Structures are given as structure tokens and as C-alpha cells.
Amino acid sequence: MPRKLLQIKLQDLELSLRGILRGFGLTVGPITPVRFEGRIRELAAGHPSLEVIAEGLLAVRVALRREFNRFEKQVRATARGDTRARLLMSIPGVGAIVSLTCASAIDDPTRFKSSKQVGAFFGLTPTKYQSGETDIDGRISKIGDASVRAVLYEGAHIILTKPLKGCTALKSWAMRIARRGGMKKAKVRWRASSPSSCIGCWPMA
């Protein structure tokens, strides 16, 4: 997806700028995207060669961010115009990217006899090892579309780390898992439960 490609290039560029400044003993530190450019110029000031490098890379960053924002608007407009995506976005933690990715991957929900089959289709159900009296549940199988698993994990991160309305019970359930097994396991469990909720948004007829 062009949007994802630009996002990766932006991150790589910003990391490169941080690395170059670090070589001069200058640390950018935690900074918002809005203040990033000003912080770079502030640190590069007084270093002629560094100023030239910083200005060149910042100019590229401006172009990349402009195009990224354009794709971002296009994605949001597409999601608003898609009935399935709008229904999916009614689920807490699900935005335009998650909804469009799931909608395109599921395609026709009538392919599945029940919503529980969707998790297995995307490799979100645990593997099993059975031999004699041994019956072990392993990690999720990770078969199927990796992009769906990736965006659902991002959705899980949002619901577990940011205040959201309308998801108190779901968040409480995930946080109980986090207290027992850690935040990563809670995100995976939320991600595994999401496909059933997603397909449940659509009429099966």
C-alpha cells in the first residue's frame, strides 16, 4: 500500500536524522511530529555541514509528509464511503485502516459458516499438539493474511493504551489478561477475538 510505504520511508528518514545528530553528540529526544523539524534545526544550528545535511533531509521529509497526508485523507474518505468499513469502525479501536483491511480480506462473510471461523482463517487461533494423553495448546498458527493480523494488533494496542468510549467491558477483560500474562499476550488475545466481532457486524444473509 502506498500509504504504508510512505510511512516507512518517513520513519526511516527521521531515524536517520536522529542518527546523524547523535554522531555529533546531539540528542533529539522524545518529540512530537509537529515539533520535530524545529528541534532538528535547533540542534543543527552552529554546525555548517550539519545544517546543510539537516536542511536537505528536512526538505525530503516535508515532501514525504505532504504525500502521506494526502493518502491518509484518501483512505479516510474511502472508509467513510464503504458501508462495511463504517460498520466495522463502530467497534472500539477500529479505524479506517483496520476496517478497510478486514473488509477487503473477509470479502464475502457468507463464506464462513460462523463468525468463529474467521479467527482460524486469519491464523489467530492456537495450534494444537495431541499425542496419546498429551494435549497442548500452542501459539497462534499465523496462517492466512499477515496484514490483517498486523492491523488488528495495532487496534489492540490502541484500545489497551488509550482512553476510548464504549469499550469498558472489553478493555477490562483485556487488562485482566495483561495483569496475568503481560500486555503483549493481552493484545494478541484481543486481536484473536476481533475477527468474530468484525464479521458479526455484517448481515450473514
Is residue 144 packed enough to be buried (19+ CB in 10 Å), middle (13-18) or exposed (0-12)? middle
Q: Count the neighbouring beta carbons within 10 Å of the beta carbon of residue 14.
A: 19
Distance CA 19, CA 15 (A): 6
Judge if pTM exceeds 0.75: no
Which cell numbers in the block locate residue 166? Answer: 464504549
What pLDDT digit, counting tens, does each position of 26-70 carry?
999 999 999 999 999 999 999 999 999 999 999 999 999 999 999
What pLDDT digit, counting tens, does each position of 63-121 carry?
999 999 999 999 999 999 988 888 888 877 788 888 888 888 888 878 888 777 777 78
Distance CA 73, CA 5 (A): 16
Which helix (H) or strand (E) is 144 found in, with range? none
Which helix (H) or strand (E) is 193 found in, with range? helix 183-200
What pLDDT digit, counting tens, does each position of 132-147 carry?
766 676 677 777 778 8
Which cell numbers in the block locate residue 132? Answer: 496419546
Which cell numbers in the block locate residue 107? Answer: 470479502
